[in-house]
Chain A
Amino acid sequence: MSGSSCIQRKARHWRKNEPPIGPAREMIHEPSNPREISGFLARTRRDFLRDAVGAAVGSTLVSRSWARATPSKRRKVIVVTFGGGARDQETFVLEGQENIPHLMRELIPQSSFFTQVVNHGILGHYVATASLATGVYETFNNFAAVSPQSPTVFEYFRKDLKRPSSDAWVVAPSNGFNRIGESSHRSYGPGLGARVILPKRLLTAATSGKHSSYEHLLRDNYESPYFTPELAGNEFELQQLEMILKLSVDDFKAHAQTLSSPDELSVYVARQLMRQVAPSLLWITLHDIDIAHAGAYSLYIEGIRRTDRLCSELWKAIQSEPEYAGNTTLFVLPDFGRDSDDDAGGNGFQHHRTGDTLSRTTWMLVAGPGIRENVVHDRAVDSMDLVPTVGSLLGFNPIMAQGRPIQELL
């Protein structure tokens, strides 16, 4: 559970949704309720995307079928989530687009883009990512070292399709995520989940704890920066570095020294995993943007720009890896948003504590064979729709997930 400041400020004028000053009311249409604000966000994203990339409205186009697109190779799905969303003013609005050139110019024109993905759950990164992975709004303590209570997408995938453990992997940003690969559900759980790799943990092990040259890559998390939780799960062991990733400790350390952030390390490991293991279901959680919690705006912007670049690199890796090219669907979505500047209960970009509409509403980009390109969908989609959609694409049935398959992608 995040340290959410749930009590709204009651001071005179110090309250949410108040337009900044009188004249501003004349210039800006201020949506007044959550549904209207969500719709406003969706329209804003759509309009800016249309202007920038000439995207079409989803309902006007006809879907191509997946089967026609990938007749022979085994289907694969890669999900990229951001722990810590980026707000529209730093991304999709006109002045923010300079921070996401790769999304704007490369990825969105090849994608179906959903402008309104709403997260109704707890806005803490571990519990929210676990909710995305189970399709159920989990309610456990965000900072607890626990497994999700509902079966994960990995368990459905492996059990229904009888896939080995090597076919489902998670690359996670912090030690707190080490249990995300499988649930505590008695019908699923141990032995049926994904293998979890924690690149920072791996680097710590590779450097035998002497990591003065790598410290910039070893930040555990930003929501609660003071703690690195003790590990107790099926985390990736050092000896598997060479066996699975085919990397010597020296090579791994040498490459890590060329990287500038934890997310770069995660993407490097993910690419190595794609090359050497080629899992059919790969989940990567990025976290650099969440430096915003430290309150330094310039570092938050750097995080957005880096994440934008890394998403592009992953997309290019998908195109260039023979095991993935032509048969892989990529999902990119923040786990949730961040507080708006207009909510006096928060502190703008810094946190996601108010539960306001902006902090709950985000977007999703989906690309790959069979996915309509350059299309924008405005209708509201629930975060919990991800797992059922992946299930429909890969052919398993997530029976306990709360969402529904997104028809525009099937």
Chain B
Amino acid sequence: MLPRNLKVEDFAGYPPDAKKLAMSFLPTLRKLPLSFLAAMLREVIEFDFKFPVERKARERELDNLSSLSDAQLQEWFQGFAEISLSPQLEEFDWVKAPAQFVERLSAHLWSTHQIDAFRSASNRYADRLLAVVAPEPLPVARLGITVIGQGVSSYEDGLFRKLRPHGAYYTRVKPEDGLRQLLDAVAARAKSHAAAYGHWYIDGGEAVAHDAALTCVSYAALEPVRTALLRKMQEEIDRPGMGPEALRTLMAQMRPSDVGMGSNRNREPHDEVLDRFQVSLLTEGSGTQIFSTSFTQWAAREALRRAQPLTLLVRFAPRQRQKPMNELLTANTGAAEFDPVGSLIDGDLGAYYNWLNQQRLPGAEQSSFLVWFEGHNKAVAIGPSTPRGTESASAVDLSQLLSWTT
């Protein structure tokens, strides 16, 4: 089927909000090239489970596309229209299964050497969209905090090498009660600038007590989910005919209920959006099922990319030491041995990636960032008024540091 043949009933299986969105823009969807449309539908079909920022962005994007004339649409999508698809791709049921279509499209683009053309078309589209759909102003400048090095008693090699040139390096931070000060500051922002999924706390280990206004994701809390997922993966791997691509497809289709989430045993309010987000971290992230540091970095990246929080506190925890993959994938291997120093190095780069990803969001010029070596006296602060590439030996606690930076 081709986009011009799209009908109302093709979206019958979509969740309610997704169906409504697709119906509202059906005439526009019919005019889009398939190589673009499938990626759009991959997002639309998940619309009911997207964060508010994502929903708004998708609506604004479709509003813009529907306002374009046929000639303008042709101009906007020329690069995508020039992508040559195979008959098999065109015959695939891309409306019902857009994610699977995109996987096949990806393989097709690489094997036909069209991946570079597709990249160019994507980037041109993103540029144009950016130019006409400007982001809305933020209620408060964004703040990112990353805490690394939990469990490391001493580390003499250089830390924060990539971040220091962008801010001020503090060498006499008072570590006492540091994490509590940071959590209090984050909670205060959540209360004064309340927003759904606007203020996050991600912990690579067990989350410490925190304000209920924060959206919290922790590796420890997901332990039963990880165990269930790894067990399911192992079962699938053992099936005849199963291969890496089929497994990836299967994992991408997993829902919270498939891995024991959402059973509502404790009668707590059920959050399908957050549950799906958390499952996606484990099913779509690489290494997130195995290493807590990989999970933490990926969770922060995805939270920033998708939810675009106003505040994000990320705390890395020690990951298990490296073991053979087969052993790591076996869920019941007894007590894990940890690698705190390796995890510190992982977290050091993870902090840099958190900052980079934060700077990709609207309001980057006003945003602030703080990274702290937990329990120690080293930190880097980056902000619009923080002098770059400087070093300070002033004794300071983390509350003060935050107030200077934001």
Contacts and interface: CB of A to CB of B under 8 A. Distances in A.
B361 A294 contact: no
A80 B163 CA distance: 35
B342 interface: yes
Contact of A299 (B342, B348, B357): B342
Contacts, number: 188
Nearest to A10: B126
A3 B287 contact: no
B293 A295 contact: yes
Interface string A218-239: 1110101111100000000000
B119 A8 contact: yes
A321 B336 CA distance: 44
A137 B113 contact: yes
Please classify how large the interface on chain A is, using the bins under 10, 10 to 19, 20 to 34, 35 or more.
Answer: 35 or more
A110 interface: no
Main secondary structure of the interface of A (DSSP, over half): loop
A20 B127 CA distance: 16
A1 B106 contact: yes
A189 to B, nearest CB: 22
Interface in B330-387: 339, 341-343, 345-346, 348-350, 352-353, 355-357, 359-362, 364-365
B116 A6 contact: no
Interface stretch (B175-183, B220-228, B242-250, B268-276): B242-250
Contact of B346 (A7, A16, A297): A297
Nearest to A122: B110
Given A218-B324, A355-B115, A227 B237 contact: yes
A307 to B, nearest CB: 16
A7 B288 contact: no
Nearest to A144: B243
B362 A13 contact: yes
A10 B110 contact: no
B122 A226 contact: no
Contacts of A22: 364-365
Contacts of B42: 7
A160 to B, nearest CB: 29
Interface string A1-24: 111111111111111111011111
A386 B357 CA distance: 38
B113 A120 contact: yes
Contacts of B129: 10
A355 B119 contact: yes
The B interface, classified by DSSP as helix, strand, loop or mixed, is: helix
A295 B298 contact: yes
B111 A143 contact: no
B166 A21 contact: yes
Interface in A347-390: 347-351, 354-356
A34 B116 CA distance: 10
A255 interface: no
A10 B326 contact: no
Given A22-B365, A355-B115, A355-B119, A294 B287 contact: yes
Interface residues of B, number: 78
Interface string A324-352: 00000000000000000100110111110
Nearest to A356: B119
Interface string A55-75: 000000000000000000000
A296 B291 contact: yes
Interface string B92-127: 000000000011011101111101101100110111
Given A13-B360, A20-B356, A215-B324, A6 B291 contact: no
B329 interface: yes
B113 A7 contact: no
B301 interface: yes
Given A1-B111, A296-B346, A354-B119, A11 B305 contact: yes
A293 interface: yes
Contacts of B294: 294-296
Interface string A120-134: 111110000000000
B286 interface: yes
B327 interface: yes
Contact of A13 (B122, B166, B346, B364): B364
Interface string A291-316: 10111111101000000000000000
A247 to B, nearest CB: 23
Contacts of A13: 130, 135, 360-362, 364
B132 to A, nearest CB: 11
Contact of A222 (B107, B113, B325): B325
B290 interface: yes
Given A4-B110, A216-B324, A294-B286, A224 B126 contact: no
A295 to B, nearest CB: 3
Nearest to B353: A348
A21 B107 contact: no
A141 interface: yes
A297 B161 CA distance: 14
Contacts of B322: 291, 296, 299
A298 B122 contact: no
A225 B285 contact: no
Nearest to A9: B305
B305 A3 contact: no
A95 interface: yes
A153 to B, nearest CB: 22
A140 B297 CA distance: 33
A227 B106 contact: no
B216 to A, nearest CB: 21
B286 A295 contact: yes
Interface string B285-324: 1111011011001100100010010000000000100111
Given A216-B323, A355-B119, A350 B126 contact: no
A218 B326 contact: yes
Contact of A297 (B61, B123, B323, B345): B345
A341 B245 contact: no
A139 interface: yes
A4 B106 contact: yes
Nearest to B61: A10
B68 interface: no
Nearest to A27: B165
Nearest to A120: B113
A16 B352 CA distance: 17
A345 B364 CA distance: 18
Contacts of B343: 298
Given A13-B361, A18-B360, A21-B166, A301 B323 contact: no
A5 B361 CA distance: 20
B39 interface: yes
> Which 8 pairs show the lowest CB-CB distances between chains A and B?
A295-B294, A8-B122, A294-B287, A295-B287, A224-B244, A298-B345, A298-B342, A6-B106
12 contacts: A4-B110, A12-B57, A13-B360, A14-B360, A14-B361, A15-B126, A15-B360, A226-B233, A296-B322, A296-B342, A298-B342, A345-B119
Given A226-B237, A298-B341, 14 more contacts: A4-B106, A11-B360, A13-B130, A14-B361, A22-B365, A24-B166, A34-B116, A122-B110, A225-B325, A226-B233, A293-B287, A295-B287, A354-B119, A356-B119
Interface of A: 1-18, 20-24, 34, 95, 120-124, 137, 139-141, 143, 215-216, 218-220, 222, 224-228, 291, 293-299, 301, 341, 344-345, 347-351, 354-356
